[in-house]
Amino acid sequence: MNRNELVTQIKSKRSFLCVGLDTALEKIPKHLLDTEDPIYEFNRQIIDATHEMSVAFKPNIAFYEGLGAKGWMSLEKTINYLNTNYPEVFTIADAKRGDIGNTSLQYARAFLSNLNFDAITVAPYMGEDSISPFLSIPDKWVILLALTSNKGSDDFQMLEVPGGDKLYERVFKTTSQWGNQGNTMFVVGATKAEMIGEIRKIIPEHFLLVPGVGAQGGSLEDVARYGLNKDCGILVNASRSIIYASQDEDFAEKAREEALKLQRQMKYFLENSELINL
């Protein structure tokens, strides 16, 4: 998917919501455990219930790998379901990969070609040649870890490097040169929303993927205030607060309600920024 298609979808759905599919057997409603593939069945119902107010879905690959080959089959069925039924939706493999070029090429094929995700999250530590294989596939995206929302983000991301930058700022500056605004996004934790204003000075145009709203406590209002640009420029991810809104038979309905709450707020922020008409 290219940038124009993504922006068109955002304006049409009046939403910049990404739903995180962190699907775990121990958390999904009990009645689904009797189905042939409970993980897929859960995802399918969540997707059907929330796709109208969501522009992106983001399976967290760890949760599928935790179930071995069976988990991979659930993942394959989920992404195929998305690509077949909702081709307008932006799909993200949240995999945090990154390795030497030869190996990154294998990951790029796995997620962007074979599974046909639109985007994959990647880690920058190994440098340009670990990321370029992902950027070589047309109309696909990398989403680089830059400033994460966890406590450990202080350990290295906040270190000062020559020139007065913090490491995460250097990561923005350096990695934004590897690709362009049409194939590169950045992960920025919502719990660091106040820093998004500074980040926007470095990368005014790029899309940001912002996790941490909801269960992790980040403020959607702050993220919108500091993050929105002329193309919207943000995707805000919520996982647990939506998909586990209920653990009973009404889980899909409750997930839809939670997604709708977020979408209504997003519509308000988009209107306020005059990105969509009232």
Active site residues: 96
How far is it, in rounded angstroms, from Cα 120 to Cα 117? Answer: 7
Q: Which is nearer to a copy of itself, 10 or 185 (CB)?
A: 185
Residue 157 CB, shortest distance to a copy of itself, in Å, is 7
Find residue 145's DSSP bridge partners: 187
- Smallest Cα–Cα separation from 220: which of 193, 246, 253? 193
Find residue 208's DSSP bridge partners: 186, 234
Q: Which is nearer to a copy of itself, 83 or 229 (CB)?
A: 83
Q: Which is nearer to a copy of itself, 97 or 206 (CB)?
A: 97
Chain residues in the site for a copy of itself (CB under 8 A): 22, 24, 60, 62-63, 65-70, 72-73, 76, 96-104, 106-107, 109-111, 114-115, 123-131, 145, 148-157, 159-162, 167, 170-171, 174
- Smallest Cα–Cα separation from 191: which of 214, 173, 207, 169? 214
Residue 67 CB, shortest distance to a copy of itself, in Å, is 8
Q: Which is nearer to a copy of itself, 72 or 86 (CB)?
A: 72
- CA distances in angstroms from 219 to 151, 167, 227, listed in the order given: 17, 24, 12
Q: Is the separation of the CB atoms in 209 and 187 below 8 Å?
A: yes
Residue 119 CB, shortest distance to a copy of itself, in Å, is 16
Residue 245 CB, shortest distance to a copy of itself, in Å, is 18
Q: What is the largest CA-CA distance in the chain?
A: 58
